[in-house]
Amino acid sequence: MNIVPEITRKSITDLINNQERADGRSLNDYREISLETDVISKAEGSARVKIGNTQIVVGTKSQLGDPFPDTPKVGVIITNSELLPMAAPEFESGPPDEHSVELSRVVDRCIRESRMVDLEKLCIIEGKKVRMVFIDLHILDYDGNLFDAAVLGAVAALLTTKIPKITLEGSEIVIDAENKESLPIRDKALMCTFAKIGDNMILDPSIDEEEILSARLSIGMTESGKICAMQKGGATPLTKEEIMSAVKLTEEKTKVLMEYLP
């Protein structure tokens, strides 16, 4: 975390207390969003997402692997994120730090708990072989609100993922790389992130707002309106009213975000 000059903190807070923001948005607006899919031909599914100047490329790849002993009948989704040192001066190369781990775990939770992908259909031989789908989040430019961008990109990449058809002939696993099929998708989920600054909750914090926020709340919601993941951040408490109004706004805003999906 960078040290923020008191004058910057005060000017951003004063604006927000006045229902305004430095970039002219209202408190409940996203910055400009763009989403492209199939941007990496070597990936099985891919997306490039931009929210404001935050930019992420997501790629998916599948391979065969062993199921976890406690869930022998279901496939595996593994989400991994790299906060690349190119994305911000404060990011360092090396193994994932706590921010990177939190990001990939929250994205993973949003996708897993929404039961978006029918993991049982990814099972090839019960207890022996399942498909493993890797979601790799490549953070290229960090200008605030990685969570919403990462979930949007990951879901778009999953929706466009084409995996090789696999059939069983006796005990032989036949991988047909020529014939591709989509993942078994049941639902979609997206995430909205709020920051508490001053007395207000604002949507989609920019980098300057993220650096001074007192609390952060990310809410994942499915297309059908079910809450599938939440994550509070920041060392300041929130009231129940603040949380419930954020939930209400998420219902509205995820519908808008859904329209960007392929």
Partner 1 sequence: MIIILTEGTNLGTKSRDDGRAFDELRPLTIEAGVLERADGSAYLEFGGNKVLVAVYGPKESFIRRFQRPDRAYIRCRYNMAPFSVDDRKRPGPDRRSVEISKITAEALQPAILLEKYPRSVIEIFIEVLEAEGGTRCAGITAASVALADAGIPMRDMVVACASGKVNDEVVLDLSEVEDKDGQADVPVAIMPRSGKITLLQSDGSLTPEEFEKAVDLAVEGCQSISKVQKEALKNRYGE
Residues near partner 1 (CB under 8 A): 40-43, 46, 53, 55, 57, 59-61, 63, 80, 82, 84-89, 93, 95, 134, 136, 138, 140-143
Q: Are strands 45-51 and 123-125 parallel, antiparallel or unpaired?
A: unpaired
- Inter-residue contact 77 to 117 (CB < 8 Å): yes
CB of 44 to partner 1, least distance (A): 8
CB of 39 to partner 1, least distance (A): 8
CB of 86 to partner 1, least distance (A): 3
For residues 142 and 194, which CB has a smaller minimum distance to partner 1 in the complex?
142
CB of 10 to partner 1, least distance (A): 24
CB of 46 to partner 1, least distance (A): 7
CB of 222 to partner 1, least distance (A): 26
179 CB-near residues (< 8 Å, 6+ apart): 164, 165
Q: 139: helix, coil or strand?
A: strand
User: In the structure encoding, which two tokens stand for residue 187, read together?
Assistant: 């639902």
For residues 136 and 148, which CB has a smaller minimum distance to partner 1 in the complex?
136
126 CB-near residues (< 8 Å, 6+ apart): 72, 73
For residues 161 and 250, which CB has a smaller minimum distance to partner 1 in the complex?
161
Q: Which residues are paired to 19 by β-bridges?
A: none
Helix axes 146-159, 98-113, angle to 10 degrees: 50
For residues 14 and 23, which CB has a smaller minimum distance to partner 1 in the complex?
23
In 40-133, where does DSSP find H-type helix?
Answer: 98-113
Q: How far apart are CA 155 and CA 102, in angstroms?
A: 18
For residues 41 and 239, which CB has a smaller minimum distance to partner 1 in the complex?
41
Q: How far apart are CA 229 and CA 151, in angstroms?
A: 11
For residues 46 and 114, which CB has a smaller minimum distance to partner 1 in the complex?
46
